């Protein structure tokens, strides 16, 4: 019985983490039709930025803890802004209108570059900024000791998901975005500055990526390769949910999160490919993913 | 069968290469062997690129070929090189005939992602198999050729000659395939699938054939890789490996059957030196190269050589 | 297709041109060979992870250790018996190669090292897969090769009659036999045992060896849970719950590097490590970084008498100091192991009866290394297994202790087990030996 | 004359919109039928249903007396019904010749050969012949992207025709072509198709163009067939004048 609760709790926690990781990816794809392989690198950059700064703060500072949390968010934001702006202005805007798959390859090149760039900046030694994670302590849920930090992550991703959704559905900007998503040309004709929308969206996506990294950093040891490890994961989630759909990403994350938690508790031997299993299954039934839109071709 | 000039040149070059192998240093012979093995997998990627499909999971068949060779050596005690390779190809083709039914329903990114998912599933299964050495993989038994087993230290050279011959034959076949009705149909599908349907042709059938054929070709590369390296591990099915094949495919471009081979060789040479000279940042070099190709040589390195050809055609078009 | 004409006409012009360029590229490789011509120096190829997740915890310390040692040797700074300049009087030249990229690529790089770079010996390899793949090639090329870290028990059951391949690190089975013995000494009444391993060969083998050993050494224990998360996963929430649900007394893990640190952090802050004692076979490599995030009493090992477990001796003192001053950190076990491999190589080369200043032939070195007994930073090493090609050493385990005042972690209650106590004799595999109840094991 | 295409009580609903309402048509071999109707009258829907691109909500379609409901466009094409498109559907990156060679190869066999070259003298001859008939042979080796609109429409039709279909559906063959070109283009097309003795059904807006070539007109309005018969009678039909062609046509129609 206990392990059933555990499955739900673990599943929820893992799902919310997955959603954090996947949100930026799906936003960028939804608006710009770019499946961003470098998203994992953004995640890693966020993690490194947070880990190095926060680690530094706690190791030789006696300042209050909450400053540490602010710093995490701060550097995630800063890193995301800088990186996103650089990449969008410096590279991607010259590539718009190219074939979707080509864009995948372009971002793949970006990933190769960023991976080494990070090695140059932060070296290969792991960064270990555990304080924000440890400080929060733990609480007991259904007889299971759970880290408060993980519970906070659940909250954060709920807020984030809701926020994104409301923003898209309820605000003017959201309308503009959906116009672009629905038909770029028409939106352009309606006087939407698509270029600017793209820049903003890409930066938003990047920030979401770095944020996910920064929020994860305190719980892990930040080492080379963490970015590469999560890309495929994020892809799976986004593809399952239907690429470009926020609610899809949320549902996909929940699906993967729960099935993985269940596997860990009841059938550890399947844990390794449960994610791809779910993905292949969903795609086999719904080629466009759960929330994907089918675009019929006019003749 | 009559050979056209391209085919004659291909065979000629192969002969030269094979002879060159006798005087070239061993490490170079080995490097070329590995490069040629890879180039076969890349041929498989290119075959699908010409039909407008990019696969991030060709490692699946690369790995199938490799493991089929390794396992039939270990468990079936087969050492005859042709039969080993044949088994590898057969296994891959069999799998492709099943997966193909599903894969041919997808295009663009969905195809890319689903192919990736399948190869990662194989990766997961292999990692889960201690009997096959899990991530360590296992060593491949020495091969023989119709009962003849190469003398100690001669195997690499012998294998080199064999793979050169194989690559040449493969290149000729693929060259013909490229010009065949089926090959043309692949390009037509890339250009306008609906019209192909309205010409009474089934895009799915064409893509299915193409997918299965590509799987076989890639598996052949995997088999050779296993025999050359003497070791196989699940890494072969990891998505990064597949990414590398896409990289090489773009490097060469789809314009000519020799492009993937040349690209694979250049890639191997560049990488060897990159690792040696800048061990910490050769990925970055690859990344920038890839971007440069996409921006400046969208048709791959080959467009460097065939530039004049397109200029000529442009003129033709005017008149 | 659309320019079929072109492909015919132009293959005439373009194909040769293309090939010319390609061959030019290849030809340029020859220059590399030329550069690497013998120059009287003793060239060592050092292969370890410079990229990827293994670079930080293992690769970099190893590479640093190699640098420190080579520098020291070339300047003759080492204490006796290693005070002779370089190796056998010949200056040492080092070529460092990244181990990342899979076994197939490593085979290619190994051939490059030996045949193009013309190195006189290769020292390296962390990944067991790479060791398995390299061994036959090394034998084929007759290249002196010393594996310094990889732990697979397969190595010498695949390479049955080794000639040029040596391993100065211990068989991974030793780690887990040692762990079991340490538990028997320090936690005799533990019953419920759980395990969490990275889901790949290393983790699977470790768990296998450990459970087998426990069945022999602590028969009343029961394995209540075994988790195998994906390697480099980083997030172990679900696994930790799954373990805590089973309320184990002992948690065995062969995690290493970032994964291990993350596991310790997460498990600790979720209270798992208070209810259960963790046994980390690779725990020593993060000794300096746990700080107060690991509970006192957590059992850690160093894959042999390395790092913090290395004994007091002149060599180790010199090495520790040299490493400290160069890299502002104490050498962890991967560093010690690299040092040991190079020292072993030096010992072999200088006993190969080559005249001083000359680089001895590989075969001579191999003969001298076979069955040798040499001094190392970890004490005395006997090449006493696999027909004199596999090092036999004791293994030590201890408990982590954090001193809040100095903010330093250390190991306490160290128990060392002699090599004879934990190493399977030749002619039997680790598994059979354990299953048979360690026949012939002599324990202190 | 034997009937080649027949539809019985054909309906097509898109949600609330009815794009086809009880369409009953039967066309005999060798007829040249013009389909008129304002935009959204259901002309293209009709063609799309007949060619299998859309599945009718209800009703029956017989081609040579056999039902083709639920069959794929390609099997209907193989059965001998070819079509052209409002917007020419070509292979832009390939040469004009290759476009036709591919069409020809596709028509020859559903299983294209893997090793025999697409280009053989016999195919090339046929392709050049048909290009000649449409007098666009000059464009033989240029990429489609380098070819003007009018020519593309002709290529589109040539590709449909090269497989020797029994029936040819032309969806607005003159759309996207300048007024001057229209007549000339249609003249070429009609000469060729008549030479190939193929039943033709084409959608056209311009009444002058229509009356010039057809022996029969179908007038569509909001999914229904308003009138069906020889041009003068249909164009004279009051409701057609009111709903489809508009006033000035009425007068012409009456005096015709």
* Contact criterion met (CB < 8 Å) for D93 and C4: no
* Residues of chain D contacting B, Cβ within 8 Å: 51, 72-75, 77-78, 82-83, 85, 89-94, 98, 101-103, 105-107, 109-119, 138, 141-143, 146, 159-160, 163
* B105-132 tens-digit pLDDT: 888 878 888 898 889 888 888 888 878 8
Question: How many Cβ contacts (< 8 angstroms) between chains A and B?
Answer: 103
Alpha-carbon distance of C251 to C261, in angstroms, equals 15
Per-residue model confidence (pLDDT) at position C22: 54
Tell me if A161 is assigned to some domain: yes
Chain D residues with CB under 8 Å of A299 CB are 48, 53, 85-87, 89
Q: Region C330-335: what's the mean pLDDT?
A: 88
C411 and C270 in a common domain: yes
Q: Beta strands D167-171 and D58-63: pairing type?
A: unpaired
* D197-244 tens-digit pLDDT: 889 888 887 777 788 888 888 888 888 887 888 878 877 777 777 777
Q: Region C277-282: what's the mean pLDDT?
A: 93
Q: Region B16-45: what's the mean pLDDT?
A: 90
SS3 content of chain C, % helix, strand, coil (to 5): 45, 20, 35
Q: Does residue A199 carry a pLDDT above 70?
A: yes
Alpha-carbon distance of C252 to C212, in angstroms, equals 13
Cβ atoms of B128 and A269 within 8 Å: the answer is: yes
Round the CA-based radius of gyration of chain A to a whole number and report it.
19
Average pLDDT, chain C: 86
Chain A residues with CB under 8 Å of D89 CB are 299
Mutate to test the interface with B, among D102, D161, D170 (most CBs of B within 10 A): D102
Chain A residues with CB under 8 Å of D175 CB are none
Per-residue model confidence (pLDDT) at position C16: 54
Q: Does residue B311 carry a pLDDT above 90?
A: no
* Contact criterion met (CB < 8 Å) for C245 and A14: no
In which domain, by residue range, is A153 found?
2-285
Q: Region B202-217: what's the mean pLDDT?
A: 94
Tell me if C3 is assigned to some domain: no
Q: Does residue D245 carry a pLDDT above 90?
A: no
Alpha-carbon distance of B114 to A284, in angstroms, equals 9
Tell me if A179 is assigned to some domain: yes
* C373-422 tens-digit pLDDT: 999 998 889 998 888 999 999 899 999 999 988 888 899 999 999 988 99
* Contact criterion met (CB < 8 Å) for B152 and C140: yes
Lowest mean pLDDT among A234-243, B90-99, C294-303: A234-243
* D118-164 tens-digit pLDDT: 888 889 998 989 888 888 888 888 898 888 888 888 899 999 988 88
C140 in contact with B, Cβ within 8 Å: yes
Q: Does residue A147 carry a pLDDT above 70?
A: yes
Tell me if A292 is assigned to some domain: no
The two tokens of residue B289 are 């190269």
Beta bridge partners of B180: D117
In which domain, by residue range, is D245 found?
3-255
Per-residue model confidence (pLDDT) at position A231: 84
The two tokens of residue A47 are 């993690």
Q: Select the more confidently predicted residue: C276 or C38.
A: C276
Q: How far away is chain B from the Cα of A213, in angstroms, using its nearest Cα?
A: 21
| Rounded-to-10 torsion of CA C70, C71, C73, C74 | 110
Q: Residue A127 is part of a domain; what is its CATH number?
A: 1.10.3470
Per-residue model confidence (pLDDT) at position B114: 84
Phi-psi region of C226 (alpha: psi -120 to 50; beta: other; left: phi over 0): beta
* Contact criterion met (CB < 8 Å) for C7 and B233: no
Q: How far away is chain C from the Cα of B210, in angstroms, using its nearest Cα?
A: 15
**Nearest neighbour of A235 by CB, restricted to B106, B113, B250:** B113
* Contact criterion met (CB < 8 Å) for C2 and D95: yes
Tell me if A291 is assigned to some domain: no
Tell me if C16 is assigned to some domain: no
Mutate to test the interface with C, among A138, A148, A225 (most CBs of C within 10 A): A225
Q: Does residue B304 carry a pLDDT above 70?
A: no
C215 and C297 in a common domain: yes
Alpha-carbon distance of D252 to D256, in angstroms, equals 6
pLDDT band for A62, please (50, 70, 90 cuts).
Answer: low
**Which residues, numbered 155 to 184 in chain B, qualify as contacts with chain C under a Cβ-Cβ cut-off of 8 Å?**
175, 178-179, 183-184
Per-residue model confidence (pLDDT) at position C302: 87
Mutate to test the interface with C, among B6, B7, B17, B27 (most CBs of C within 10 A): B27
The dihedral sign for the CA sequence C165, C168, C172, C177: positive
A267 in contact with B, Cβ within 8 Å: no
**Nearest neighbour of B233 by CB, restricted to C8, C22, C102:** C102
C114 and C49 in a common domain: yes
> Partners for D (CB, 8 Å, 3+ pairs)?
A, B, C
Lowest mean pLDDT among A97-111, A175-189, A220-234: A175-189
**Which residues, numbered 41 to 100 in chain B, qualify as contacts with chain C under a Cβ-Cβ cut-off of 8 Å?**
50
pLDDT band for C1, please (50, 70, 90 cuts).
Answer: very low
B149 in contact with C, Cβ within 8 Å: no
**Which residues, numbered 171 to 230 in chain B, qualify as contacts with chain D under a Cβ-Cβ cut-off of 8 Å?**
173, 176-177, 179-185, 187-188, 191-192, 194-202, 205-206, 209, 213
* Contact criterion met (CB < 8 Å) for B185 and D78: no
How many domains does chain A divide into?
1
CB atoms inside a 10 Å sphere around CB B1: 6
Chain D residues with CB under 8 Å of C3 CB are 95
* C417-437 tens-digit pLDDT: 998 899 888 888 888 899 998
Helix pair angle (D121-133, D179-195), 10° resolution: 130
Tell me if C35 is assigned to some domain: no
Chain B residues with CB under 8 Å of A243 CB are 109
Per-residue model confidence (pLDDT) at position D249: 45
Of B266, B12, B36, the residue nearest B167 (C-alpha) = B36
Q: Select the more confidently predicted residue: B283 or A209.
A: A209
Helix pair angle (B5-23, B26-50), 10° resolution: 150
Chain C residues with CB under 8 Å of A10 CB are 237-238, 241
Question: How many Cβ contacts (< 8 angstroms) between chains A and D?
Answer: 6
Lowest mean pLDDT among A232-236, B231-235, C162-166, C187-191: A232-236
Q: Region A28-42: what's the mean pLDDT?
A: 88
Cβ atoms of B143 and B87 within 8 Å: the answer is: no
Q: How far away is chain D from the Cα of A268, in angstroms, using its nearest Cα?
A: 46
Per-residue model confidence (pLDDT) at position B38: 93
Mutate to test the interface with C, among D98, D99, D146 (most CBs of C within 10 A): D98
C363 and C379 in a common domain: yes
Cβ atoms of C421 and C441 within 8 Å: the answer is: yes
Of A87, A46, A35, the residue nearest A235 (C-alpha) = A35
Chain D residues with CB under 8 Å of B205 CB are 110-111
* C359-374 tens-digit pLDDT: 888 999 999 999 999 9
pLDDT band for C12, please (50, 70, 90 cuts).
Answer: very low
Chain A residues with CB under 8 Å of D48 CB are 299
Tell me if C227 is assigned to some domain: yes
Of D35, D38, D27, the residue nearest D1 (C-alpha) = D27
Cβ atoms of B5 and B193 within 8 Å: the answer is: no
Lowest mean pLDDT among A97-111, A221-235, B296-310: B296-310
B313 in contact with D, Cβ within 8 Å: yes
Chain C residues with CB under 8 Å of B225 CB are 104
Q: Select the more confidently predicted residue: C21 or A188.
A: A188
Q: Region B86-101: what's the mean pLDDT?
A: 94
Q: Residue C126 is part of a domain; what is its CATH number?
A: 3.40.50.2300
Tell me if C261 is assigned to some domain: yes
Beta bridge partners of C376: C379
Q: Does residue C347 carry a pLDDT above 90?
A: yes
Of C316, C349, C357, the residue nearest C333 (C-alpha) = C316
Q: Does residue A207 carry a pLDDT above 60?
A: yes
Beta bridge partners of D60: D8
3-state secondary structure of C77: coil
* D166-179 tens-digit pLDDT: 999 888 888 777 77
Q: Residue D175 is part of a domain; what is its CATH number?
A: 3.40.50.300
In which domain, by residue range, is C215 found?
173-302+394-435
Tell me what percent of the residues of chain B surpass a pLDDT of 90: 34
Which range, A98-102, A105-109, A282-286, is most confident?
Answer: A105-109
CB atoms inside a 10 Å sphere around CB C36: 18
Q: Select the more confidently predicted residue: C44 or C427.
A: C44
Chain D residues with CB under 8 Å of C4 CB are 117-119
* Contact criterion met (CB < 8 Å) for A280 and B118: yes
Q: Does residue C33 carry a pLDDT above 80?
A: no
Of A40, A27, A78, the residue nearest A207 (C-alpha) = A78
Please, what's the b/e burial string for B196-234 (b: 16 or more CB within 10 A of its CB; e: otherwise)? bbbbbbbbbbbbbbbbbbbbbbbbbbbbbbbbbbbbbbb
The dihedral sign for the CA sequence C133, C135, C140, C146: positive
Of B130, B140, B146, the residue nearest B76 (C-alpha) = B140
* B225-255 tens-digit pLDDT: 999 988 898 889 888 889 889 988 988 888 8
Q: Select the more confidently predicted residue: C36 or C53.
A: C53
**Which residues, numbered 240 to 299 in chain A, qualify as contacts with chain D under a Cβ-Cβ cut-off of 8 Å?**
299
How many domains does chain C divide into?
2
Of A121, A26, A56, A54, the residue nearest A83 (C-alpha) = A121
Q: Does residue C264 carry a pLDDT above 70?
A: yes
pLDDT band for C21, please (50, 70, 90 cuts).
Answer: low
Per-residue model confidence (pLDDT) at position C218: 93
Per-residue model confidence (pLDDT) at position C9: 41
Residue found under tokens 């718009």: A96
Alpha-carbon distance of A146 to C267, in angstroms, equals 10
Q: Region A202-224: what's the mean pLDDT?
A: 90
Per-residue model confidence (pLDDT) at position C34: 43
* Contact criterion met (CB < 8 Å) for D83 and B198: yes
Per-residue model confidence (pLDDT) at position C25: 52
3-state secondary structure of A161: helix
* Contact criterion met (CB < 8 Å) for D119 and C1: no
Q: How far away is chain B from the Cα of D118, in angstroms, using its nearest Cα?
A: 4
Per-residue model confidence (pLDDT) at position B318: 38
Q: Select the more confidently predicted residue: B297 or D76.
A: D76
Lowest mean pLDDT among B166-170, B271-275, C290-294, D138-142: B271-275
Query: How many Cα atoms sit within 13 Å of A138 on the Cβ side?
Result: 17
Alpha-carbon distance of D137 to B96, in angstroms, equals 42
């Amino acid at each position: 019985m206990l392990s059933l609760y555990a499955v739900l709790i673990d599943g929820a926690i893992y799902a919310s983490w997955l959603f954090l990781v996947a949100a930026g990816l799906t936003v960028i794809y939804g608006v710009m039709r770019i499946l961003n392989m470098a998203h994992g690198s953004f995640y890693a950059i966020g993690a490194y930025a947070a880990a190095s700064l926060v680690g530094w703060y706690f190791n030789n500072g006696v300042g209050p803890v909450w400053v540490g949390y602010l710093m995490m968010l701060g550097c995630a934001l800063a890193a995301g802004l800088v990186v996103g702006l650089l990449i969008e202005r410096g590279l991607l805007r010259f590539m718009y209108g190219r074939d979707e798959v080509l864009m995948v390859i372009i971002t793949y090149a970006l990933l190769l570059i960023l991976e080494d760039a990070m090695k140059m900046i932060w070296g290969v030694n792991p960064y270990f900024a555990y304080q924000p994670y440890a400080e929060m302590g733990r609480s007991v849920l259904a007889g299971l000791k759970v880290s408060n930090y993980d519970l906070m992550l659940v909250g954060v991703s709920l807020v984030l998901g809701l926020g994104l959704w409301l923003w898209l559905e309820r605000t003017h900007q959201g309308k503009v975005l959906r116009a672009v998503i629905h038909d770029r040309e028409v939106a352009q004709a309606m006087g939407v500055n698509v270029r600017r929308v793209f820049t903003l969206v890409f930066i938003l996506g990047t920030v979401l990526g770095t944020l996910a990294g920064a929020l994860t950093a305190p719980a892990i040891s930040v080492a080379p390769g963490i970015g590469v490890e999560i890309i495929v994961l994020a892809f799976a989630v986004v593809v399952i949910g239907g690429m470009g759909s926020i609610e899809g990403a949320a549902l996909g994350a929940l699906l993967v999160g729960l099935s993985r938690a269940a596997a860990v508790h009841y059938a550890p031997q399947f844990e390794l490919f449960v994610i791809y299993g779910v993905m292949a299954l969903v795609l086999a039934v719904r080629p466009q993913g759960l929330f994907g839109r089918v675009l019929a071709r006019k003749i | 069968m009559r050979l056209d000039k391209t085919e004659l040149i291909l065979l000629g070059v192969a002969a030269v290469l094979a002879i060159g192998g006798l005087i070239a240093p061993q490490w170079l012979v080995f490097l070329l062997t590995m490069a040629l093995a890879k180039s076969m997998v890349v041929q498989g990627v290119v075959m699908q690129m010409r039909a407008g499909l990019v696969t991030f999971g060709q490692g699946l068949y690369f790995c199938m070929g490799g493991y089929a060779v390794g396992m039939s050596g270990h468990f079936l005690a087969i050492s005859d090189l042709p039969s080993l390779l044949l088994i590898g190809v057969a296994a891959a083709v069999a799998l492709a005939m099943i997966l193909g039914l599903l894969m041919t329903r997808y295009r663009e990114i969905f195809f890319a992602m689903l192919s990736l998912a399948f190869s990662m599933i194989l990766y997961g299964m292999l990692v889960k198999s201690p009997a096959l050495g899990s991530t360590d993989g296992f060593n491949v038994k020495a091969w023989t050729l119709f009962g003849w087993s190469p003398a100690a230290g001669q195997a690499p050279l012998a294998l080199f000659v064999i793979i050169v011959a194989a690559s040449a034959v493969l290149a000729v076949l693929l060259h013909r395939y490229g010009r065949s009705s089926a090959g043309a149909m692949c390009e037509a599908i890339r250009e306008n699938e609906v019209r192909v349907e309205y010409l009474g042709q089934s895009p799915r059938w064409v893509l299915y054939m193409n997918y299965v054929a590509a799987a076989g070709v890639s598996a052949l590369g995997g088999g050779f890789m296993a025999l050359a390296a003497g070791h196989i591990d699940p890494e072969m099915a990891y998505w990064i490996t597949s990414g590398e094949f896409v990289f090489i495919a773009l490097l060469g471009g789809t314009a000519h059957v020799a492009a993937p081979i040349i690209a694979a060789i250049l890639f191997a040479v560049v990488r060897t030196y990159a690792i040696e000279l800048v061990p910490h940042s050769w990925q970055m070099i690859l990344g920038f190269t890839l971007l440069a190709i996409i921006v400046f040589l969208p048709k791959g390195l080959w467009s460097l050589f065939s530039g004049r050809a397109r200029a000529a055609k442009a003129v033709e078009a005017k008149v | 297709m659309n320019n079929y004409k072109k492909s015919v006409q132009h293959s005439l012009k373009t194909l040769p041109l293309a090939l010319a360029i390609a061959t030019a590229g290849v030809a340029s490789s020859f220059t590399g060979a030329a550069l690497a011509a013998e120059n009287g120096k003793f060239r060592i190829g050092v292969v370890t992870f410079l990229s990827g997740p293994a670079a930080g915890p293992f690769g970099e310390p190893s590479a640093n250790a190699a640098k420190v040692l080579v520098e020291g040797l070339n300047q003759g700074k080492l204490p006796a018996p290693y005070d002779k300049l370089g190796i056998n009087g010949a200056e040492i030249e080092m070529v460092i190669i990244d181990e990342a990229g899979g076994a197939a690529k490593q085979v290619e790089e190994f051939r490059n090292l030996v045949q193009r770079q013309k190195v006189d010996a290769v020292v390296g390899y962390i990944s067991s897969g790479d060791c398995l793949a390299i061994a036959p090639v090394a034998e084929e090329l007759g290249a002196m090769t010393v594996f310094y870290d990889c732990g697979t028990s397969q190595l010498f059951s695949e390479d049955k009659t080794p000639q040029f391949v040596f391993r100065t690190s211990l068989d991974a089975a030793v780690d887990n036999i040692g762990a079991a013995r340490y538990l028997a000494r320090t936690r005799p009444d533990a019953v419920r045992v759980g395990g969490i391993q990275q889901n790949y060969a290393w983790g699977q083998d470790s768990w296998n060896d450990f459970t087998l050993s426990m069945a022999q050494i602590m028969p009343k224990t029961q394995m209540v849970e075994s988790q195998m998360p994906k390697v480099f996963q980083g997030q172990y929430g679900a696994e930790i719950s799954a373990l805590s649900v089973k309320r184990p007394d002992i948690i065995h893990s062969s995690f290493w590097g970032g994964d291990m640190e993350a596991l310790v952090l997460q498990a600790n802050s979720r209270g798992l490590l208070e209810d259960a004692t963790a046994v980390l076979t690779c725990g020593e490599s993060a000794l300096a970084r746990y700080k107060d995030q690991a509970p006192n009493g957590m059992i850690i090992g160093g894959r042999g008498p390395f790092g913090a477990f290395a004994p007091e001796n002149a060599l180790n003192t010199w090495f520790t100091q040299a490493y400290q001053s160069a890299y502002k950190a104490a050498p962890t076990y991967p560093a010690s192991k690299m040092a040991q491999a190079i020292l072993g190589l030096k010992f072999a080369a200088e006993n190969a009866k080559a005249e001083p200043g000359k680089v001895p032939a590989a075969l001579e070195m191999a003969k001298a290394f076979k069955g040798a007994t040499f001094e190392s930073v970890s004490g005395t090493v006997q090449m006493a297994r696999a027909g004199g090609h596999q090092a036999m050493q004791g293994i030590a385990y201890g408990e982590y202790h954090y001193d809040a005042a100095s903010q330093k972690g250390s190991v306490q209650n160290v128990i060392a087990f002699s090599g004879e106590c934990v190493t399977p004799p030749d002619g039997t595999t680790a598994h059979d030996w354990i299953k048979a109840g360690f026949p012939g094991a002599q324990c202190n | 004359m034997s009937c080649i295409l027949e539809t019985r009580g054909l309906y097509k609903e898109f949600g609330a919109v009815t794009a086809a309402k009880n369409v009953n048509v039967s066309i005999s071999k060798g007829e040249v039928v013009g389909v008129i109707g304002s935009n959204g009258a259901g002309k293209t829907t009709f063609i799309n249903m007949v060619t299998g691109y859309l599945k009718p909500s209800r009703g029956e379609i017989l081609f040579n007396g056999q039902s083709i409901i639920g069959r794929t466009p390609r099997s209907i094409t193989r059965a001998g019904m070819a079509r052209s498109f409002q917007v020419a559907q070509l292979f832009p990156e390939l040469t004009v010749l290759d476009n036709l060679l591919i069409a020809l190869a596709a028509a020859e066999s559903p299983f294209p050969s893997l090793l025999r070259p697409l280009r053989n003298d016999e195919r090339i001859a046929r392709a050049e012949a048909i290009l000649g008939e449409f007098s666009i042979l000059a464009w033989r080796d240029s990429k489609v992207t380098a070819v003007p609109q009018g020519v593309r429409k002709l290529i589109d039709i040539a590709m449909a025709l090269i497989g020797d279909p029994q029936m040819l559906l032309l969806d607005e063959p003159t759309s996207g072509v300048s007024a001057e070109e229209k007549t000339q283009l249609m003249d070429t097309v009609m000469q060729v198709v008549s030479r190939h003795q193929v039943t033709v059904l084409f959608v056209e807006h311009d009444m002058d163009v229509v009356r010039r070539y057809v022996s029969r007109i179908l007038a569509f309005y909001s999914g229904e067939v308003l009138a069906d018969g020889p041009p003068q009678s249909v164009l004279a039909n009051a409701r057609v004048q009111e709903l489809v062609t508009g006033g000035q046509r009425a007068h012409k129609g009456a005096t015709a």
